[in-house]
């Protein structure tokens, strides 16, 4: 997509100016056959003042390079990887500037200053939405005013968004005149958070404020930066930046952060808990993992882990409970990526090994790490009195949550997961 050297990285691209960046982007196919004269006409037409739909913060002229970059950043047909790269480029400049530029671009090729569409050669008129009759935009097209471009869900500067709680906000646009349809474009689904907007599509019918409800729920600890857009056919797009950060917690954290280009590391919180348990010979303690810990001590341990300050604890059973909770609070859970039918059909050890191979990273590496821990516990069964079946049942419930529409499958899945854990622990025990 970009005319880059093999050694070029995203960081290299982000440091380039708009004018340098445009040189690395091929012209749209429709422009390759244009003459130099037509290209000059394009730049000239694009730089003419345009009637604004939203109120921009300045009257700066949008350069040809900016137009070209922004158009490539916002085309829905782009490949996912390219679209992600383009989004990162947009977010690398100040948000108000990025959104203002995007708004101006769409205003330019949706609404020129009275110039007939047929005479607007070069201002990307091939991207202009056409009405069913093929005529230019009618005087009844909606006229919208947007006064806000960022959504922070009412959180002040430095305030973190709580995990697993619905945060709501409103996006308000003002309909000055006309009628017309609208639809929103949201980011692709992400397991780290849930973003919902209502209504997603509809029709502007009455003048005045048009309100849209936005709901955000964090499943993992992340810093969220996403652009959503409201498109009004025949008018343009209106862009809004969502920039919020969730509170930090290692419980339910996004484990994808531990996979860097295929090199997977174990979450530090898990390593810290296992190291301390080993230092205390915890795997020999009777009924380890099965004994209920003290609630106050569990809360203290969680707080230390969240602040990356865990060094010791007063109750080893509370720590064991906390380790199980780390897996139980993952969203999605570690084995959730396996298909229901494959889990239910796995009967023997070899089939369970195939299930392990099906797991994607970093889930696979973290699961293998857990299996090794369970092997250690099982080796001391004579001292701790904990059977492999008990361990498999306990951790199986923390690793997979049945979500089938078939109730009979939901009843059988927990047993199949426990059997899988048991087979894999036995297999890895033989390897030692």
DSSP string, 101-133: HHHHHHHHHH--SS--GGG-TTS-GGGS---TT
* Domain assignment of residue 129, yes or no: no
Q: Do 404 and 423 belong together in one domain?
A: yes
Place of tokens 């293998």: 368
Whether residue 361 has pLDDT greater than 50: yes
* Domain assignment of residue 378, yes or no: yes
Enter the pTM of the model.
0.58
pLDDT band at 312 (very low <50, low <70, confident <90, very high): very high
Q: Do 237 and 263 belong together in one domain?
A: no
Whether residue 159 has pLDDT greater than 70: yes
- What count of other Cβ atoms lies within 10 Å of the Cβ of residue 198? 11
Asked which of 34-48, 279-293, 336-350, 400-414 is least confident by mean pLDDT, the reply is 34-48
Place of tokens 């690395």: 24
Place of tokens 């973190």: 160
What is the predicted pLDDT for the residue at 362?
96
- Average pLDDT value for residue range 300-314: 92
Q: Do 87 and 157 belong together in one domain?
A: no
Rg for the chain, CA atoms, rounded:
28
Q: Do 384 and 420 belong together in one domain?
A: yes
What is the predicted pLDDT for the residue at 139?
47
3-state secondary structure of 180: strand
Report yes or no: 146 and 238 within 8 Å, Cβ to Cβ.
yes
pLDDT band at 158 (very low <50, low <70, confident <90, very high): confident
Report yes or no: 246 and 160 within 8 Å, Cβ to Cβ.
yes
Whether residue 382 has pLDDT greater than 50: yes
pLDDT band at 190 (very low <50, low <70, confident <90, very high): confident
Print the domain residue range for 163.
142-248
pLDDT band at 15 (very low <50, low <70, confident <90, very high): low
pLDDT band at 14 (very low <50, low <70, confident <90, very high): low
47, containing H or E segment: none
- Average pLDDT value for residue range 300-323: 94
Indicate the length of the chain as a whole number: 432
Residues near 323 by beta carbon (within 8 Å), at least 6 away in sequence: 270, 273, 274, 277, 289
The CATH number linked to 162 is 2.60.40.10
Domain boundary among 220, 248, 276: 248
* Domain assignment of residue 370, yes or no: yes
Whether residue 321 has pLDDT greater than 70: yes
Task: Look at 58 and 249; give whichever has higher pLDDT.
Answer: 249
Q: Count up the domains in the chain and report the number.
A: 3
What is the predicted pLDDT for the residue at 376?
97
- Average pLDDT value for residue range 111-130: 41
């Amino acid at each position: 997509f970009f005319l880059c050297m093999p050694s070029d990285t995203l960081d290299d691209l982000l440091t380039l100016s708009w004018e340098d960046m445009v040189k690395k982007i091929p012209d749209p196919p429709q422009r390759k056959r244009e003459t130099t004269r037509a290209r000059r006409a394009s730049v000239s037409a694009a730089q003419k003042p345009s009637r604004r739909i939203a109120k921009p913060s300045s009257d700066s002229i949008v350069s040809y390079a900016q137009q070209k970059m922004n158009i490539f950043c916002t085309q829905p047909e782009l490949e996912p990887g390219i679209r992600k790269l383009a989004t990162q480029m947009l977010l690398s400049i100040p948000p108000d500037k990025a959104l203002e530029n995007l708004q101006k671009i769409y205003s330019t090729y949706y609404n020129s200053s009275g110039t007939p569409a047929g005479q607007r050669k070069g201002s990307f008129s091939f991207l202009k939405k056409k009405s069913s009759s093929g005529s230019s935009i009618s005087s009844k097209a909606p006229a919208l005013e947007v006064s806000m471009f960022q959504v922070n869900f009412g959180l002040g500067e430095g305030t973190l968004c709580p995990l697993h709680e619905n945060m709501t906000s409103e996006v308000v646009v003002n309909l000055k005149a006309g009628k017309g349809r609208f639809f929103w474009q949201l980011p692709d689904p992400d397991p780290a958070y849930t973003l919902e907007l209502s209504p997603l599509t509809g029709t502007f019918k009455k003048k005045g404020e048009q309100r849209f409800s936005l709901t955000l729920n964090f499943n993992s600890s992340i810093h969220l930066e996403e652009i959503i857009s409201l498109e009004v056919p025949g008018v343009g797009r209106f862009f809004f930046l969502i920039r919020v950060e969730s509170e930090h917690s290692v419980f339910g954290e996004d484990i994808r952060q531990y996979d860097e280009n295929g090199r997977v590391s174990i979450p530090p919180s898990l390593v810290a808990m296992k190291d301390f348990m080993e230092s205390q010979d915890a795997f020999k303690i009777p009924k380890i993992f099965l004994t209920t810990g003290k609630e106050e001590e569990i809360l203290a341990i969680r707080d230390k882990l969240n602040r990356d300050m865990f060094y010791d604890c007063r109750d080893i059973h509370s720590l064991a409970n906390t380790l199980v909770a780390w897996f139980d609070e993952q969203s999605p859970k570690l084995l959730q990526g396996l298909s229901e039918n494959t889990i239910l059909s796995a009967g023997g050890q070899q089939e369970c090994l195939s299930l392990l191979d099906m797991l994607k990273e970093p889930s696979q590496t973290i699961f293998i790490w857990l299996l090794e821990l369970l092997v250690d516990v099982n080796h001391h069964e004579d001292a701790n009195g904990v059977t492999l079946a008990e361990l498999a049942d306990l951790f199986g419930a923390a690793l997979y949550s049945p979500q089938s529409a078939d109730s009979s499958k939901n009843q059988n899945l927990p047993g199949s997961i426990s059997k899988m854990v048991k087979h894999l622990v036995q297999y890895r025990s033989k390897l030692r």
